[in-house]
Amino acid sequence: MIPFSPPRIDDKICNEVVAALKSGWITTGPRTKLFEKKITEYCGNKNALCLNSATAGLEVMLRWFGVKEGDEVIIPAYTYSATANVVIHVGAKPVFVDINANDFNISISEIEKAITSKTKVIMPVDFGGLTCDYDEINELVVKHKNKFVASDNENQKKLGRILILSDSAHSFGAVYKGKKAGSLTDVSVFSFHAVKNLTTAEGGAIALNLPLPFDNQLVYNQLCVSTLHGQNKDALAKTQKGNWRYDIVEAGYKHNMTDLTAAIGLVELERYENDTLVKRKHIINKYIELLKNDARLEFPVMKTKDKESCYHLFPLRIKNVTEQQRDDIMKHIFDADVSVNVHFLPLPGMSFYKNLGYKAEDYKVTCDNSSREISLPVFYDLTDEQIKTVVNAVVESVNKVVK
């Protein structure tokens, strides 16, 4: 069976994790702090805070911005549940909007229609590793500055407009107008979950890039406290001689990354640009090369004049098929021992959101893209031989269903 996206676990990873274990420091410590520094260097943003997941990072930023009951957060209907769930966690209302047909990313004109005086945050999702149009989104919040009503939250007053909190779970390493994801808007949150391009098993990072008058280092310091019990010193600082006394300044959360997982991240980051990304690009270009003459297929956008994906997903679409036909095609592909996936099912149609009154049918492009989508395997160790097996499985399965 060809798997969908197993992590790359080799001796280098194992040795670094063992080294972290043997160092005697296994929770948040020097490796996590070094990983944060290297993420900032790589992305070209201001500060990065590593946490145990992207979900935690998104939620913490909503709380930092004082988002609460009565507030609205604009998100694409085409995303993973985490994007909307965190909005529910803080008691606010997710406002789903539709996407662009071609690149699956949130539609700027739909965002604009959804902005109200209750809108506090826009959370674009860089689907599959292709960034959204950040120049346009950044301009939109300035254009609608007058609609923004700041609460008594200090950060809302300071920013004086809607916050852009990018769900960059897919886009570590993606490029937009010569700049990397993480440096394209106010705040971006990466995921290092096991299936993501760059993994730490579980993990995530908040990439801060807030404009003046924010001091990003100060925001970083505050976030360290609010993601570790509200304690004014971390475990490492407390071990320093005579530095044992601490205070609890808020009812903080427990979201920190450990040095064991940061050890994986450091190895992954070191080889990311010149090895991982090169291989992922090769795999996806090979799929396109082998499938491009099949007129029944529609290929995802990987590169434009302004952008280059980080090749996280290969979301293929089959033209003119029903959802049932797509499901049948997937069944045949699985029967050929190839693992595939769907990214994503329309979130407003999932039971929890449906029960809140959302309807998938209100998001036409989301439904159409989702019903015809099949994501093919992309992972470092996928061989050219296996790519051919996947391609044959796809073509033969489509043959069986589409006459």
Ligand X SMILES: *Cc1c(COP(=O)(O)O)cnc(C)c1O
Residues that bind ligand X (CB under 6 A): 53-55, 79-80, 82-83, 125, 167, 169-170, 191, 193, 204
Smallest CA-to-CA distance from 168 within 210, 196, 139 is with 196
**In the bound complex, what is the minimum distance in angstroms from residue 192's beta carbon to ligand X?**
7
How far is 277 from 188, CA to CA, in rounded Å?
Answer: 20
Task: Please name the amino acid found at residue 211.
Answer: P
Q: Which residues contact 122 (CB under 8 A, 6 or more apart)?
A: 73, 74, 75, 111, 137, 140, 141, 162, 163, 164, 165
Range list of H helices, 227-363: 235-239, 259-270, 277-291, 323-335, 351-355
Task: Please name the amino acid found at residue 165.
Answer: L
Strands 119-122 and 72-76, sheet pairing: parallel
**In the bound complex, what is the minimum distance in angstroms from residue 370's beta carbon to ligand X?**
14
Cα–Cα separations (whole angstroms), residue 205 to 50, 225, 229, 257: 4, 15, 18, 9
Tokens of 261: 């997982």
* Phi, then psi, of 72 in degrees rounded to 5: -120, 145
How far is 287 from 387, CA to CA, in rounded Å?
Answer: 7
- Looking at beta carbons only, is 269 or 398 nearer to ligand X? 269
**In the bound complex, what is the minimum distance in angstroms from residue 170's beta carbon to ligand X?**
6
- Looking at beta carbons only, is 191 or 209 nearer to ligand X? 191
DSSP bridge partners of 254: 228
- Looking at beta carbons only, is 52 or 119 nearer to ligand X? 52
**In the bound complex, what is the minimum distance in angstroms from residue 260's beta carbon to ligand X?**
16
**In the bound complex, what is the minimum distance in angstroms from residue 210's beta carbon to ligand X?**
21
- Looking at beta carbons only, is 156 or 166 nearer to ligand X? 166
The contacts found for 25-30 with CB under 8 angstroms, 24 or more apart, are 25/236, 25/259, 26/258, 26/259, 26/260, 27/235, 27/256, 27/258, 27/259, 28/228, 28/234, 28/235, 28/236, 28/256, 28/257, 28/258, 28/259, 29/235, 29/236, 29/259, 30/236, 30/259
- Looking at beta carbons only, is 125 or 329 nearer to ligand X? 125
- Looking at beta carbons only, is 201 or 236 nearer to ligand X? 201
* CA pseudo-torsion sign 209, 64, 219, 34: negative
**In the bound complex, what is the minimum distance in angstroms from residue 301's beta carbon to ligand X?**
17
- Looking at beta carbons only, is 191 or 276 nearer to ligand X? 191
**In the bound complex, what is the minimum distance in angstroms from residue 204's beta carbon to ligand X?**
4
**In the bound complex, what is the minimum distance in angstroms from residue 313's beta carbon to ligand X?**
9
**In the bound complex, what is the minimum distance in angstroms from residue 53's beta carbon to ligand X?**
3
Smallest CA-to-CA distance from 77 within 53, 110, 54, 102 is with 110
- Looking at beta carbons only, is 156 or 375 nearer to ligand X? 375
Residue 33 contacts residue 183 (beta carbons within 8 Å): no
* CA pseudo-torsion sign 48, 53, 54, 55: negative
- Looking at beta carbons only, is 198 or 394 nearer to ligand X? 198
- Looking at beta carbons only, is 7 or 204 nearer to ligand X? 204
**In the bound complex, what is the minimum distance in angstroms from residue 59's beta carbon to ligand X?**
9
